[in-house]
Each structure stands twice: as structure tokens, then as C-alpha cells.
Amino acid sequence: MQFKTLLKTLPLLMLAAGLGSAAHAADVKLGLAAALTGPAAKYGVAIKNGFTLAADEVNAAGGVNGNKLQLIIEDEQGKKEEAINVFKKLIFKDKALLVFGPTLSNSAFAADPIANAAKVVAFGTSNTADGITAMGPFTFRNSVMEADVLPVTTRAAVKHFGIKKVAIIYGNDDAFTKSGYDVFKGTLADQKVPVTTTEAYAKGDVDFKAQLTKIKASNPDAIVCSCLTEEAANIILQTRALGMKQPFIGGNGLNSPKLFDIAKGAGDDTIMGSPWSPENLTPANKAFIAAYKAKFGSDPDQFAAQAYDALHVVADALKKIKLSGAIDKDRIALQQALPSVTIEGATGKFAFRKAPAVTGKEVGYDAQQEAIVNIAKGGKFILLK
């Protein structure tokens, strides 16, 4: 145990010595739990980049009320036990003012109760699952739920193509694609669009001909696809191979350049809804994309954009409060300042909205944001006008 503490304190001491007098006590410590290794790393690394970029910007502009922001980044590997351990470390050991993350909704279900019990804000930037913010008043997120995006997408698609009836295909063993399917099902019922047939596949499938043949026989006007990118791309290719020309309608899972790497031109006319688009040319978004490219040498994605915005949301809330230095008080002050924040970020206009009420429980805050509907043309997504 002593050896362990030594192992942990030694690098900290060295770091402190290295920074010397430059590091003053007024640094505001913000924790970030992200999946930097493991299968969810592609999201976690983008999230980390988005946060670092925003924190550097805020600090370069003189910090918040003269205080520099200090990000403490920990890897939670996309595992629930790790997410709990990292949250506890950031809250109890590093005494972070708030914790961003974790990357996956499943990890959030494990880690957010810890933050709520400790009265520390847990701020998710990529948790879209239902019920995350029902866990307590200290849960916040700026990730837009599928339940907000998909109805807008569906309505736009129905209008654009004059759709009368659709078929559905979805992955039934993945939390993200399954909950996307549930939302689509409800949306289609609400908007009175009949469903000709519903087909499912399992993660890792590569041959979808059996499902697609059934869909072909039912002759829909469009195919609703609650899928992740790789599978969606294969489904689109195989649909075209069967001689079907129907357009696809999908959610965030399709929002990746990888879709066109695999499906090429076959993906054209796919309609996709997302909270962020590189084609959305607001000044804030243009500045974000340029700064991201300059710093990391690659194109940003939606996860980086949401992380970037999240830090600016918190910086804005910090401007409104006076830090007392007593961490428990400051944490609660931050929680009370956050809900009133509105910003114009990379993802557009942003505000918080109280989560749907749960009896006998206080709830947190969801994102109140417009979804952007895109259509694929010539191997990339452009805004649907």
C-alpha cells in the first residue's frame, strides 16, 4: 500500500517540481474520464482532443476570472469498473471541481451515481442513452438524445422523398442501435408512417442478404437503418446489389466519413440526423474546425465538437460564480450555475433543459439543441435544405 502511494505521489511531486512556481493555487481542476484505450478509444481520443483544444483556448485568453483551467485526464477503457475507479480518483483524490465523461452510456450508468452521491457534477458529452440524466441532479449532458434527433430526421426525410411506407433494419444486440430502433419505432407510429417489415442483425454480421430480400419483397419507399457505420455501409452496398434503389434514413451511427470509404457512391441520398455537421458554416464552427485541424492535423468529428462545446459551457458557468476555495461549496455553486448557461458553440445554439421528471427523485439536465439533417451527395454529407 505504501509502495503504491509512493508510486502515485512520485510523478505528481515531479510534476509539481517541474512546473515550479508557475502553478499557483488558483488553478481550477476539471476531471475528464474518457475511454482512451479499448474498443471505444476512437470516441475517447476525439473527446480528449476536443477538451484539450478548448482548455488551451480558454487559458490562452487569460483563463476564467484570472484562473487557469487544468484538465486531469484519466483513461476509463470503456469498462464500468474502470469508470467507477476513475470517477472516484478524480473526485476524492484529485478533488476535481467537476468530472466530464465517461465516454459510453453503459459506463455512465455505473459512474454517475458516484458523482451524484458526492455532489459533484458529472458532465457527459457522448452519453445518448435514455435515463442517464434521471440518475440525479448532478448529471448533465450536452449530447443530444436520439429521441430528439430522429423525429426531426424522419419528418425531413418523409417530406423530401414523399415516403409512404418504410422498412426497418437494426442491430438488436447493441445498446446504441437497439435504443435507436426503439425511438424510430415510436417516431414512425407518431408520424403515421406504416412499417412494411422489421429485420434485425447481430454485431459482426457481414451478410445481410436474407433480411434485405425480405425487405425487397415488402417494397418500401425507404429503409430506416439503426446501425453502426461498418454494418450500415455493408447493408447499403448489398441493397444496391439486389437492385433496390430506396434511400436510407439513419441516426448518428451513420455520421462518419467511413460510410463512404466502404459504400462509395452507393450511399448517396442517405438522410442522417446529427447534432453537428462540418457543413454547418457558423463562425463558431468554422473557427473550431480550423483550430482543430491546426492542432491535431486531422478533421474533427461530432465527439470532438461536443467535448469542445462542453468545456466552453463550463467555462461560462465558472465566470458567473466566485470560487471560495472550499471545494464542496464550489462544486454545488457550479451545479447551480450550469443550468442557466447558453452558448453559441461548434454544435450551434446550446441550452440545458431539465430532464423528464421521475417520481420521488431529482433529475439532471439534458441538451436543448436543434438537430441538423444531412443528405449524402457525391460521397459526403451536406445539409438538407
Contact residues for another protein, defined by CB under 8 A? 4, 7-8, 11, 36-37, 74-75, 80-82, 84-85, 88-89, 92-93, 106, 109-110, 113, 118, 129, 131, 135, 172-175, 178-179
**CB 84, min distance to another protein, A:** 5
Query: In this structure, which amino acid lies at residue 204?
Result: G
Q: Is the CB of 116 or the CB of 280 nearer to another protein? A: 116
Separation between Cα atoms, residue 277 and residue 40, nearest integer Å: 21
Separation between Cα atoms, residue 70 and residue 132, nearest integer Å: 26
Q: Is the CB of 36 or the CB of 233 nearer to another protein? A: 36
- Residue 132's contacts (CB-CB under 8 Å, 6 or more residues apart) are 105, 108, 109, 112, 124, 139, 141, 364
Q: Can you give the three-state secondary structure of 145-166, one letter per residue?
A: CHHHHHHHHHHHHHHHHCCCCE
> By three-state DSSP, how is residue 251 classified?
coil
- Work out the number of other CB atoms within 10 angstroms of the CB of residue 360: 5
Indicate the burial class of 21 (C-beta count within 10 angstroms; 0-12, 13-18, 19 or more): exposed
**CB 48, min distance to another protein, A:** 11
**CB 2, min distance to another protein, A:** 11
Element (H, E) at 237: helix 229-241
**CB 320, min distance to another protein, A:** 29
- Residue 41's contacts (CB-CB under 8 Å, 6 or more residues apart) are 35, 78
Q: Is the CB of 281 or the CB of 358 nearer to another protein? A: 358
Q: Is the CB of 109 or the CB of 352 nearer to another protein? A: 109
**CB 332, min distance to another protein, A:** 18
**CB 9, min distance to another protein, A:** 10
- Work out the number of other CB atoms within 10 angstroms of the CB of residue 336: 13
Separation between Cα atoms, residue 292 and residue 158, nearest integer Å: 35
Closest CA to 308 of 281, 346, 280, 278: 346
Closest CA to 31 of 51, 53, 16: 51
Q: Is the CB of 85 or the CB of 282 nearer to another protein? A: 85
Q: Is the CB of 325 or the CB of 378 nearer to another protein? A: 325
**CB 383, min distance to another protein, A:** 32
Q: Is the CB of 358 or the CB of 382 nearer to another protein? A: 358
Separation between Cα atoms, residue 115 and residue 113, nearest integer Å: 5
Q: Is the CB of 132 or the CB of 317 nearer to another protein? A: 132
**CB 18, min distance to another protein, A:** 15
